[in-house]
Amino acid sequence: MTGFSTDRRRVVAGLAASASLLAAPRALGQAKPKVVVVGGGFGGATCARALNRLGIEVTLVEPNATYTACPFSNLVIHGSRDLSAQTFTYDAIRRDGIAIAAEMASGVDADARIVRLASGATLPYDRLVLAPGIDIRFDALPGYDEAAVDVMPHAWKAGAQTALLRKQLESMKDGGVVVMSVPANPYRCPPGPYERASLIAHYLKTQKPKSKLLVLDAKDSFSKQRLFQNAWKELYPDHLEWVGLAGGGKTTEVSVKDMTVVTEFGRHKADVANIIPPQRAGRIAADMGAADRSGWCPIDPVTFEAKLRPNVHVIGDAAIAGAMPKSAFTANAHAKVCADAVATLLRGETPGEPKLINTCYSLVAPDYGISVAGVYHPAKGVLADVEGAGGTSPLEATKDVRALEAKYANAWFQIVTSEVFG
Amino acid sequence: MRNAFVLAALAAPLVFGSPALAQGAAPKPPPPGASSCSGCHGAAGSDLPTLSGRSADEIAGSMAAFRSGERPATLMNRIAKGFTDEETRAIAQWIAAQGRAK
Ligand SMILES: Cc1cc2nc3c(=O)[nH]c(=O)nc-3n(C[C@H](O)[C@H](O)[C@H](O)COP(=O)(O)OP(=O)(O)OC[C@H]3O[C@@H](n4cnc5c(N)ncnc54)[C@H](O)[C@@H]3O)c2cc1C
């Protein structure tokens, strides 16, 4: 260790260098800079833990006592996984010493740097991290309102919706028609609808072989498309039909009363309808002015600071992250880079340019995995693909390779959820 | 003595109170890309290999072999191509140091 005088010199030097930084902490004399994280999902919970490890005082705002994860929830819908395997508590995060405000953040005063909670309490912050995930746009698809989700579940937020869709599939008679509606980009988990379609088709093929799944899609191309479509041809030729935009796949309206999904080209009667509706950033983002007209939040690709609100960082699904897809892997990667950037900014320094990785596995069948990966860096103001990197699993691969990727998918879920919640 | 105390108190907002910071050394942020790795590489005993306990040379060597295609992979080849040799070495050193720290 160095002697006292060296320590003192360092402190003095630090102070001199920081004259301009005294504006950074909220108030002089405050012991530590405060960061509030709104949302305890893959993004927010990761970020709170990373900030805490960096010695920053963090409060995590999350109304739910448990978190139900979406990745692998398609296996719950398939019938081969229990919803309890998707559920995580905040106990370990609390044990880290992170304060949790177990309620909804109802608003943010960005000028005063205060988060308002549903109870009326307020939390001051030096920097705020918003990780509210998505909200369903109930204004975007005629007929699909808050009440419709009880009849035509979206199951795009895991939990009761996931269980409901599973129950509907289970009670459907053999010979039934399942209709799935898939939105245009951007939305949470680009390959998620196609993994779900695969696993529903697998369930129908093995348990209700006279039934059929019709996938109505608002786009003509999608993530891992050739891999999915090749596998569908091989595995589910009689059970899965996909209709893209050009074929009239875009859903224009739904009717809960008639159990009908309407497209530009026709009306489709459904025994079970899974509507994945258009989405936007969790509503607090728009309420506080961090979202643009698209409903999502533009961010600085180095710091994740919202372009529309200073001192507010947006991570995970809510952010416009350029080429990075809205995934749990992405949210986790955002969170760690954002925590480092926040700590650096709070020291009055400039964060360096990050690189980030995403990997999304999808199951085409329980033992058949495929993946897409990417490496990203800031370029021209957004997170762009690092050229020459990333891409999908090969189109030609042995059964063993597909089985190995399914195994890795499982391992990823274990590891990421233990990093976030364990 | 008194002076030092006052200065330390004033400086407190800048040092977050973590032991490393209290000694005046801010932790060096991880090199570009490094913090993403723990999304897949965790503790031992998983189907995905752990990196803890591996040396920087071993990690950087694997990455180079994935990048060149010399070492077959389901996915790491696609990721390794996103990093230069220099970036990979920095990541490997950081991960190896973390492993020792834990
Ligand atoms: C079917 C399906 C399958 C998927 N599969 C995969 C996969 O295999 N791999 C993968 O990487 N990703 C997958 N995803 C995507 C993944 O679930 C999301 O990208 C991820 O959850 C995003 O994390 P987030 O932290 O941004 O949001 P979330 O995880 O949704 O967390 C947001 C949190 O914020 C809270 N919140 C919202 N508003 C407020 C407020 N005002 N105050 C306080 N708290 C608030 C919510 O309660 C919630 O807990 C899948 C998604 C679906 C739907």
**Phi and psi for A109 in degrees, rounded to 5?**
-100, 100
Task: Tell me: do A132 and A226 sit in the same domain.
Answer: no
Query: Which pair of tokens denotes residue A351?
Result: 């964060």
Task: Kindly list the distances between the CA atom of residue A398 and the CA atoms of A63, A370, A403, B49, B68, in Å, as whole numbers in the listed order.
Answer: 45, 12, 9, 22, 22
Alpha-carbon span B89 to B60, nearest angstrom: 5
Give pLDDT tens digits for A360-412: 999 999 999 999 999 999 999 999 999 999 999 999 999 999 999 999 999 99
Distant-in-sequence, close-in-space partners of B24: CB < 8 Å, separation ≥ 6: A7, A10, A11, A14, B15
Distant-in-sequence, close-in-space partners of A5: CB < 8 Å, separation ≥ 6: none
Answer whether residue A252 is part of any domain: yes
Q: In the block, which residue shows the tokens 């007929």?
A: A143
Contact call for residues A31 and B14 (beta carbons, < 8 A): no
Answer whether residue A377 is part of any domain: no
Task: Tell me: do A268 and A336 sit in the same domain.
Answer: no
Q: Are B75 and A55 within 8 A, CB to CB?
A: no
Q: Considering only the beta carbons, identify the residue of A14, A329, A356 that sits closest to B11.
A: A14
Alpha-carbon span A43 to A339, nearest angstrom: 11
Alpha-carbon span A130 to A137, nearest angstrom: 19
Q: How many CB atoms lie within 10 A of CB A159?
A: 18
Contact call for residues B94 and B30 (beta carbons, < 8 A): yes
A317, A336, A358: residue to mutate for ligand 1 pocket, most atoms within 8 A of CB = A317
pLDDT at A361: 98
Distance from Cα B58 to the centre of ligand 1, integer Å: 35
Task: Tell me: do A182 and A237 sit in the same domain.
Answer: yes
* DSSP secondary structure string for all residues of chain B: -HHHHHHHHHHHHHHTT-HHHHTT-PPPPPPTTGGGGGGT--STTSSSPP-TT--HHHHHHHHHHHHHTSS--SSHHHHHTTS-HHHHHHHHHHHHHHHHH-
Alpha-carbon Rg for chain B, nearest whole angstrom, is 19
Alpha-carbon span A400 to A398, nearest angstrom: 5
β partners of residue A280: A135
- Any chain B CB within 8 A of the CB of A323? no
Interface mutation vs chain A, best among B47, B68, B83, B95, most A CBs within 10 Å? B47
Residue A255 binned pLDDT confidence (cut-offs 50, 70, 90): very high
Answer whether residue A22 is part of any domain: yes
* Domains of chain B from N-terminus onward: 35-98 (1.10.760.10)
Task: Tell me: do A176 and A268 sit in the same domain.
Answer: yes
Alpha-carbon span B61 to A409, nearest angstrom: 25
Q: Are B39 and A410 within 8 A, CB to CB?
A: no
**Can you give A381-407 as a three-state secondary structure string?**
CEEEECCCCCEECCCCCCHHHHHHHHH
CATH number of the CATH domain containing A51: 3.50.50.60
Query: Which has the minimum average pLDDT: A17-26, A76-85, A185-194?
Result: A17-26
Among the three residues A247, A275, A303, which one is the final residue of a domain in this structure? A275
Tell me what the mean pLDDT of segment A145-162 comes to: 98
Q: How far is B40 from chain A (nearest CA, A)?
A: 5
Alpha-carbon span B9 to A368, nearest angstrom: 59
Q: Are B4 and A11 within 8 A, CB to CB?
A: yes
Q: What percent of chain A has pLDDT over 70?
A: 93
- What is the domain extent for residue A82? 12-136+280-352
Tell me what the mean pLDDT of segment A339-346 comes to: 98
pLDDT at A32: 84
Interface mutation vs chain A, best among B75, B77, B98, most A CBs within 10 Å? B75
**Res. B101: pLDDT tops 60:** no
